[in-house]
Structure 1
Amino acid sequence: MNRLLATVAILLLLGFTAGCGPKITSLQRKEAASLVSEAQFASTMRDWARAEELMAKAVKLCPDNGEYWLNLGSFRRRLDNLNGARSAYESAVKAYGATYKLDPRNPQPLMQQIYIYSLLGKPKEALKVLKRAHEEHADKSGVISFTEETIERLRQEQSFKDLAL
């Protein structure tokens, strides 16, 4: 009976924790922030390989940070690692989606998803998220002023083209 009870307790515990990744500690976040700072310095020196290496370490520590994934993708793009950039950009979209679920009052993660979908060359997905942002944040002028034309102008900028796939 005790063995059965213990087995049931373990299964229940596993069921409640399934899908939950390990909690990111404050120390890990601080270490990741330090790595990101170093990566930003490396990028100002145009040492894309060093910046990519440091940013890859940061996303391993904090895989929930969309900005880190976006930066990793941009460094990989500058290194002409298109598959790596694509993977990082897609992870950024997921991370921003999770961030939005935690605080749906903040439209910024949706706006970032629009930008990243545009980098990925997925205009339909970008417009779908734009429509959602307009529906869910009609009261925010920054969201409403961001239109399909804004996306198209963005796509014409050289700095965008340098990072796009």
Structure 2
Amino acid sequence: MTPHDIEALARRVIEAATAKGLMLATAESCTGGLVAAALTGVPGSSAVVDCGFVTYSNAAKSEMLGVPAELIESQGAVSEPVARAMAEGALRRSQAQVSVAATGIAGPGGGSPDKPVGLVHFAAAGPTGVVHHEARFGDIGRERVRQASVDQALRMLAERITAS
């Protein structure tokens, strides 16, 4: 995937959201705002992008998105339940109807046998519910994990928009 691929995918997401009159929000941890940046790089995105939450710390996930601290404690920040809670929290705390969340371990450190570098959990929420995706990109380098995560997040947004 190239920057051009990301740009084209972001453009398709913005066009689909515009066509359906849906507002979007992002909830990002390991991507650090890259999904929101890809979306807002598209001319006309201000009509459909409401906001982006960069919740890198566990405290930010709880304070900004309402993810229960107990959930983070019991499941870990990099988990399916936390990704789902982030996506749902982004909807509750914004004017958006569709959201996407990403939480993972981009590396180079921070991994464990159960949660290795390159593990990213995604969730996308919309009127038809929440979907989850787990990706194990491997230890391919921090920037490659982050770029692959942006690609996956945009694809999930597109799917949720289509399903709405």
- Is this a same-fold pair by TM over 0.5? no
Question: Per the shorter chain, which TM-score range?
Answer: under 0.3
Choose between structure 1 and 2: higher strand proportion. 2
User: Computing the radius of gyration over CA atoms, which structure comes out larger, 1 or 2?
Assistant: 1
TM-score (norm. length: structure 2) = 0.24
TM-score if structure 1 supplies the norm length? 0.24
